[in-house]
A and B are shown apart, each in its own frame.
Chain A
Amino acid sequence: MNFTFVLSQSITQALGVTAIIYCLAAMGLNLQFGYTGLLNFGQVAFAAIGAYSVGVIVISFGASLWAAIPIGLLASVALALVLGIPTLRLRADYLAIVTIATSEIIRLLVRSIALRDTFGGANGINGKMGQAFHDLNPFHADIDLPFLTWTRQDLWVVTVGWSLIAIFTLAIWLLVRSPWGRVVKGIREDENAVVSLGKNAYVYKMQALILGGLLGTVGGIVWAIAKQSVQPDNFVPDVTFFSYTILLLGGAARVFGPIVGAIIFWFLLVFVGEFLNQMIDAGWITFLLPTDVGPIRFILVGLGLMGLMIFRPQGIFGDKRELALNAR
């Protein structure tokens, strides 16, 4: 059994492209749910908008990637407005219902046979949609350290991805420490109290929804550029729920929560999977087939997360005292 391989795979994935995408989605949810109290259960829709903007505009329409990115971001703002205008005046649960439904509508729409010429149906869009980005790659060789192995392309995506996360984290840190952050946290606690002090809560909620959605869209754009392929079944509601898991794991309403949450979540998931695979290969486990590993790793990681929620419900960075206040 090759333990070094297991560890190397886990660390590579924990810092890799997938972790970056989920981290961005969770950062968006942190702004929406952690700070403002908005229940967005359709974060995957914002990611899909980003990924499909790149795929459709670059591959289906043959335009430039540098045109696709701003169009994707604009489409994301438009989606947030469409979701927010009817629901943000209502109670929080309405947004949750509308967002989860919308995320499925978008997935089924891009999957539909009628629109196959544009969105590629169930096969999605495949092709060198990220080429313009990869042409700028300053790295000349793959990286192959004992615990870290990336191709030249992945290394470039990962470098830019974590740099973006650093910039966005700094921006969120500034936002939530400002009077603006105080207003949105106030809305999370009691919207009417904030309104009674002369703040237009509706506008603040809309701003949080748009900003959080944009972060999810950036995640989707990274997805399309890194994987050079977008498929509708990548954008199932599970993505949203994994992002929430990451957020709660790291600690909601904590600036570094999504980063630490994403790294730990992907490390655990890959580690458990690879570890089981190696044990089966080595003949130490005989009652499992290699095909069982996929579901079982989710069961084990799920049990671990349940343990976390029982013994440390505030997440890794959270303040238990603060969480207890909410129970009153």
Chain B
Amino acid sequence: MPANGQRALEAQAALSGVPRIPGAPKPDPILVASSIVRRFGGLSAVDVEHVEIQRGSITALIGPNGAGKTTLFNLLTGFDAPDEGTWSFNGKSMGRLSPYRVARLGMVRTFQLTKALNRLRVIDNMLLGAKGQRGERLWASLLPFLWRGQETKNTVRADVLLKRFSLDAKRGDFAGSLSGGQRKLLEMARALMSEPELIMLDEPMAGVNPALTQSLLQHIKMIREEGSTVLFVEHDMDMVHDISDWVIVMAQGQIIAEGPPGDVMKNPEVIDAYLGSRHEKALTESGESLTTGDAK
């Protein structure tokens, strides 16, 4: 596996000259967001002045529980609407776009609580991710000759991805019969089926056993090597240190620090934010899940 390939070096070189300040401008941003505010009652869950995500990099979004990371994800992907703010993806303004349109533009996300489609087979989960399917139109679906060829091509692509994620043995099983870690893999593979330019992973490591963590890390690096941009939310500092080119730290809805992983970890503000939160972890965990918008 290419631990740090060509793209990693490119991304790190591009980011080397970026100032280590919150809201720092990047040389080639794929995502630019300004003045994003989301209030829940009196609480400002997200209040981000400015943030840019470098194309082709792996950017980690970290912060203690309740910092507003998942809420920011929901806002950027259209699953929630901000009270204020503008943001653009690939130069295209994204305000008030429905989440399915955001996904079609190439910005695809996964969820903190894994959403494997339980009573669909693993291969059908994968095929669902493919874009622009002719057979997904109501009338065309009655005429299989219109979409059979495309379906075969998508199936070949899905099988390649399943093999890469070591899920090929589970191809015909219901997704609901997979283990928690396998579901995380499936969700990531399914998102890749849509060939996203920017893939946003919400806690890809949560609930995954340590043995699988290493392979998940490799998969994320592979996504970068194939030219996509990765933005992910994570709590585990070691993991963040291992794979990210750039780290953005959030606390209490705001971005408090930015920089390469080594620098950020030494930043006293970051240490404060993290150590301060440690004691109340159990309490804020339930608080955060309320803000993700997962009604189920």
Contacts and interface: CB of A to CB of B under 8 A. Distances in A.
Contacts of A198: 100-101, 103-104, 108, 131, 194
A24 B264 CA distance: 64
A189 B120 contact: yes
B191 A197 contact: yes
B79 A192 contact: yes
Interface in B154-184: 174, 176-177
Interface stretch (A118-126, A174-182, A302-310): A174-182
A179 B100 contact: no
Interface string A185-206: 1101110111111111100000
Interface stretch (A148-156, A221-229, A235-243, A318-326): A318-326
Contacts of B104: 198
Contacts of B193: 197
Given A178-B142, A183-B136, A325 B77 contact: no
Contact of A195 (B100, B116, B141, B144): B100
A195 B129 CA distance: 10
A185 B119 CA distance: 8
B1 interface: no
Contacts of A175: 138, 141-142
A140 interface: no
A325 B176 CA distance: 6
Contact of A200 (B98, B120, B133, B138): B98
A328 B147 CA distance: 34
A322 B120 CA distance: 9
A194 B111 CA distance: 12
A321 B111 CA distance: 26
B283 interface: no
B168 to A, nearest CB: 20
Contacts of B190: 197
A108 to B, nearest CB: 33
A195 B293 CA distance: 14
Contact of B118 (A182, A195, A199, A328): A328
A263 to B, nearest CB: 26
Given A179-B135, A180-B136, A174 B118 contact: no
A67 interface: no
B99 interface: yes
Contacts of B111: 192-193, 196
A326 B117 CA distance: 10
A210 to B, nearest CB: 10
Interface of B: 77, 79, 98-101, 103-104, 108-111, 115-120, 124, 127-129, 131, 133-138, 140-142, 144, 147, 151, 174, 176-177, 187, 190-191, 193-194, 294-296
18 contacts: A178-B140, A180-B136, A182-B127, A183-B136, A185-B119, A186-B117, A186-B128, A192-B111, A192-B115, A193-B111, A195-B79, A196-B100, A196-B109, A197-B190, A197-B191, A199-B136, A325-B174, A326-B118
Given A196-B115, A201-B100, 16 more contacts: A91-B295, A174-B141, A175-B138, A179-B133, A179-B141, A180-B138, A185-B120, A186-B128, A192-B79, A192-B99, A194-B128, A195-B98, A198-B103, A199-B128, A321-B174, A325-B177
The 5 closest A-B pairs by CB, nearest first: A325-B176, A178-B141, A179-B135, A180-B141, A193-B115
